[in-house]
Structure 1
């Protein structure tokens, strides 16, 4: 009886399977060239939906805005079209950042990892957004501390979190700790919704918006 080779793992599966920052960076480096096309086929919508929350809470023209975990910069052109022309971005992958640069929507792009110290001073940004970054195998809840630090008083921090990680990966505890410390206050919490319009029907996320004290 002949044996049929199993299908190679999808890039998305390799990303989810990463257990270290190096493995995650390698997975995204390998995926960078095909990322936009393949995520479009999956119906990945978070880089586009996060622009709606920004527009709801931050007037057009205000900035600077940080797209944290910007990847290939899918959000950038849409944010720019909405009037946010002072955009900066960070991502773990240099290969993804190279594609983001080609979109000509970001004034500055830096290689950095959420969960580590970020290369901006206190209160630098009017708002920080992060779409699809707080999910399985990705940035830890501790990354929220630095996002809050680099947001100025009265500014907003908004991001999506995989719903099942909110409690089990310490996100709710981190939300509460930052609120109790007087660093931010909650503004909005969405109901769970699908991160992929076509594939991955069991992957749900929630969007959170906090206002910096």
Structure 2
């Protein structure tokens, strides 16, 4: 007779199964459905994995963006884990977008976002040119998620001298064409690189080989 699994083990199993579901999505509709199914338990299960990015990105925002210089966009905000961290640091004007209405409903309950909109990265975004002081994004440029081309539209809605702050997963950096897109935007004088982190673990507990890199560009 096999020993009964601990509660922690069960949570980790559920979290890993949910990750498999979102990473294997092949369409925005499939990805939205996977996140709709995960929304209610997303926070507790990603915490069990030791998911760092929604909290760590606030450090890069604070390093590059003063708190009183205009609105920020949390691009792919999910359940809104980053919003309260930035609010605690004095950022009061934060918007969020996500493709999942169920995830946005959880984010709304955190009372850290001035507005939340449903949109798909890679398509048109519902804001005018130069609207945001900066955008930040974590866990979005990864397997089965937003394409590198989604950065063009995010840069469009970021003002000149603003900042683009986002992570990219190691497994899609080359295959997803991120470096050519970076070069295109730099050669087109749309942005310049301000900071690039080393590759680092995105989960403190699970999957030690899952690596991401944070990029900070200044929009021109």
Query: Per the shorter chain, which TM-score range?
Result: over 0.9
1:37-78 per-residue CA deviation (whole Å, 9 max, x = no partner) reads 000000001000110000000012222000000000000100
1:92-146 per-residue CA deviation (whole Å, 9 max, x = no partner) reads 0000000000000000000001100000000000000001100011000000001
RMSD: 1.1
Name 1:132's counterpart in structure 2. 139
For structure 2, list consecutive stretches of 5 or more residues without a partner in the other structure: 1-12
Aligned-partner Cα distance in 1 for 2:111–2:139: 22
Name 2:28's counterpart in structure 1. 21
Q: Which runs of 4+ in 1 moved over 4 A?
A: none
The residue correspondences of 1:2-17 to structure 2 (distance < 5 A) are 10-17=17-24
- 2:120 paired with 1:109: no
Name 2:200's counterpart in structure 1. 193
Aligned-partner Cα distance in 2 for 1:65–1:118: 14
- 2:156 paired with 1:161: no
Aligned-partner Cα distance in 2 for 1:168–1:24: 19
Name 2:47's counterpart in structure 1. 40
Offset, 1:150 = 0.3
CA contact (8 A) 1:63 1:84 kept: no
Aligned-partner Cα distance in 1 for 2:78–2:42: 9
Offset, 1:164 = 2.8
Name 1:144's counterpart in structure 2. 151
1:163-202 per-residue CA deviation (whole Å, 9 max, x = no partner) reads 2322211000100000000101111110000010000111
TM-score (norm 2): 0.92
Please state whether the residue corresponding to 1:164 is helix, strand or coil.
Answer: helix
Name 2:5's counterpart in structure 1. none
TM-score (norm 1): 0.95
Aligned-partner Cα distance in 2 for 1:10–1:199: 13
May I ask how many residue pairs the two structures share in their alignment? Answer: 207
- 2:51 paired with 1:59: no
Q: Tell me which of 192, 214, 218 is aligned to 1:211.
A: 218
